[in-house]
Structure formats: structure tokens, C-alpha cells
Amino acid sequence: NAGVTQTPKFQVLKTGQSMTLQCAQDMNHEYMSWYRQDPGMGLRLIHYSVGAGITDQGEVPNGYNVSRSTTEDFPLRLLSAAPSQTSVYFCASSLNRDEQYFGPGTRLTVT
Amino acid sequence: GENVEQHPSTLSVQEGDSAVIKCTYSDSASNYFPWYKQELGKRPQLIIDIRSNVGEKKDQRIAVTLNKTAKHFSLHITETQPEDSAVYFCAARSYGGSQGNLIFGKGTKLSVKP
């Protein structure tokens, strides 16, 4: 049981580049979410999904896209990277939106 | 929507002392309040949670109290140890508000000095 996995662990992008952060879970959780963590700002919700084929915006969705074609996978796409998107990104899954199981995180730097 | 305020932002205690972290929330419909611990470079992990029908919950050296009238809840750590050093996040979830998602506080960095 791997839990929640994320790839890559580290990434450096140039302004304007696009990329996809991968997230997968093997706990058969319907609810999945993406957070960004910035110093002094806590964890802010970017996008979330309550099941395959259903996604919605969180607190800070601008500049990011998501899709949920399977229960297991929930990739986050950066369309045109900006320095303001430099952050640590956490994917999480939950059975019922209560206890969140977080992945190990992706540290993204945009230059 | 829900707003969660967390204080203090940093807390330094001597080993063996108690530590208290406080959070307030704005949505009176919120009814689930978890606490997460994040060690340096690691992922956040749930350490304790409380629901609105309970006033207090304990698990060994940690406890959480909830005051629904005042809309605040607190994390209490007794007999602190160096391994308690971490960032702690509170959160609140309203099943009707904020789209039913968890809203996190900004975190408290706890340092336990040996």
C-alpha cells in the first residue's frame, strides 16, 4: 500500500513553460485535492475532485488545470509557469473529506 | 466562506513544559476540526481531530478542546519533547460552507529546547 505518491519531487521551470505534476493514490479514495504551501501562508486549496470526472476550483485556482479520468490519478497542470507559482505542492486524498492523506510533495521553482 | 486564524505563529518552550496553540473560525456551521503536524521537509500528518458534538478529546500527551460558542479550538501538548518540534496546522470544515472543503490556518512553528 503506497498511499499517496507524487512525482517529481523537485522541478525547476523557466517562466512560460508548462508541466504536469503527477499524483496517484491506491486507497480507493473518492476525494482528492491539490494544495500549495508557501511560507507563512499555510496550505491553500488549488483544485479538488469528489470523484472520477468531477473537478472544482478551490481558493487559488488561477494558472492551474486538473482532470480526473480515474479514481487513482489526479494530475495538476501548470499552463504557463510564473515566478509566483514557486511553491511546495501537496496532493491529498480522503475517504470523506475529513482525514486527508498527503503525498510527499513537489518542490517547484520557477525562474 | 470559512476563515481560520491561528496563533501564535511561533512558539518556543523548554522540554517538559506544556504548549498551547489556538485557532478561531468564522463559520458557525463548521463541525470538524483536525490538527496536522508537519516535520521539516515532510508531509503534513493528522495527529488529532474533534467534531462539534464533543468538547474535548485526548490522545496520550496531546488534547484538543473546542468552544463552539466562542468559535475557537485549541491544541494542548503536555510534557513536550524535542521530537514535538514541528509546524502545526489547525483546520476547519463546514459541511455546508466553503464547498465542504478543509480550510487551514497559517501554521505554528513549535520549537522544543532540550
At A1 the pLDDT is 79
| Contact check, Cβ <8 Å, A97/B100 | yes
d(CA A44, CA A38): 9
CA atoms within 13 A on the CB side of A51: 1
Q: Which residue matches cell numbers 472520477?
A: A52
pLDDT at A96: 83
CB contact under 8 A, A98 and B93: yes
pLDDT at A2: 84
Chain center to CA of B28: 17
Percentage of the residues of chain B whose pLDDT score is greater than 90? 85
DSSP letter assigned to residue B82:
G
pLDDT value, residue A98? 87
Using a CB-CB distance cutoff of 8 angstroms, which residues of chain A are in contact with residue B105?
42
What is the block-wise mean pLDDT of chain B (114 residues), using blocks of 10 residues?
93 98 94 96 96 91 96 97 98 75 95 96
- Substitution target in A97, A101, A106 with the highest count of B β-carbons within 10 Å is A97
Grid cell locating B45: 500528518
Q: What is the pLDDT of residues B34-53, one digit of tens each?
A: 999 999 999 999 999 999 88
User: A82-109: per-residue pLDDT in tens?
Assistant: 999 999 999 999 998 889 999 999 999 9
Size of interface A-B (CB pairs under 8 A): 50
All residues of chain A having their beta carbon less than 8 Å from the beta carbon of residue B104 are: 35, 42-44
Residues of chain A falling short of pLDDT 70: none
Tell me which chain A residue has its CA closest to the CA of residue B95: A97
